[in-house]
Amino acid sequence: MQIYSDMCFENPIETVIAFDNGSLKHALNKVETLSKKYYLLGYIRYEAKDVFLNKPVKTAQPPTPLPILYFEAYENFKPYHRDENACALFESKPCISFDEYKKAIETIKDHIAQGNTYEVNYTCDWLVTTKAKNDKEVYDTLLKQQTTPYNAYIKNRYETLLSFSPELFFKLEGRKIITKPMKGTIKRGKTKQEDEKNIEFLKNDIKNRAENVMIVDLLRNDLGKIAKTGTVKVPSLFDIETHKTLHQMTSTITAELREDISFYDIFEAIFPCGSITGAPKISTMEIIDRTETGKRNIYCGVIGFISPEK
């Protein structure tokens, strides 16, 4: 069983998997072909970026190698209703020490001072333990706390993925591509007055606006590689999206794709999303690879849902 948003998918008719540089393009072409008739749900690992940089893909290798792309195709779906009684408890702790974290931040600041990057999206792993009876109870518990349009539960023979990301990497409407990066965050207020005050601060904060516009410029440049001349536009800048626990600043960039552009071409041009790397993208990803202690894997990759109706 797989879940995306409020849809539940079972009994896939076909599975598409890629493990390395040589198989990723074929897999994306297969996904594109299947998308004309079927629903598809799956993911691409962050480390797939190396394919588009003509570098060997390096992923964490447990006893069973993990795919860099995994999609399942379905003929139909049914509505998904979460278990309202799910109530899993969690304990979490960082996988690095504060001294290691501090050292990484100082390293990034040095790179900024040297002009190697303007903005780095640094991440670190956390270990979460629970006594929940299964991963589905974990998903339903978290779903009550953070429902977004892009919730996903994906379980296969390799791994289980629970995602509650509110961010849209891109969507296609015919030959129109829409990206909506998030950059700029503030917590919800305890009162209506405090909430409104936080929104106003986020809207006008110079640092958050600067971070956001850097990524907008990066994505405009990425889309320019695959767009018809003169069609890259920014119809909306510095919008505020409100979620249960926080406010996010988003912007919207659109373009019309050239007729010769395939799924693979799109990913080659814009993957991974600049909001989870920083800018400039290539040099910043190199800094991330050297500074972060673990592999990002599916986190900071992308979850994909494709409908034959759209």
Residues 108-124 have pLDDT tens digits of 999 999 999 999 999 99
> Which domain range does residue 275 map to?
2-175+259-306
Confidence of residue 61 (pLDDT cuts 50, 70, 90): low
Choosing from 32, 137, 167, 286, the catalytic residue is 167
CATH number at residue 15: 3.60.120.10
Q: Structurally, how many domains does the chain consist of?
A: 1
Mean pLDDT of 214-237: 97
Residue 128 is assigned to a structural domain of this protein? yes
The predicted structure's pLDDT at residue 58: 67
The predicted structure's pLDDT at residue 59: 61
Average pLDDT, the chain: 94
Residue 192 is assigned to a structural domain of this protein? no
167 is catalytic: yes
Residue 74 is assigned to a structural domain of this protein? yes
Choosing from 25, 183, 211, 268, the catalytic residue is 183
256 is catalytic: no
Residue 181 is assigned to a structural domain of this protein? no
Residue 244 is assigned to a structural domain of this protein? no
Confidence of residue 260 (pLDDT cuts 50, 70, 90): very high
The predicted structure's pLDDT at residue 193: 96
Count of alpha carbons within 13 angstroms of residue 86, beta-carbon side: 20
Q: Is the pTM of this model over 0.85?
A: yes
Residue 11 is assigned to a structural domain of this protein? yes
Whole-number Cα distances in Å, 213 to 209, 231, 272, 278? 6, 19, 17, 11
The predicted structure's pLDDT at residue 147: 86
Residues 272-285 have pLDDT tens digits of 999 999 999 999 99
Residue 247 is assigned to a structural domain of this protein? no
Query: For helices 21-34 and 263-270, what crossing angle results, to 10°?
Result: 130
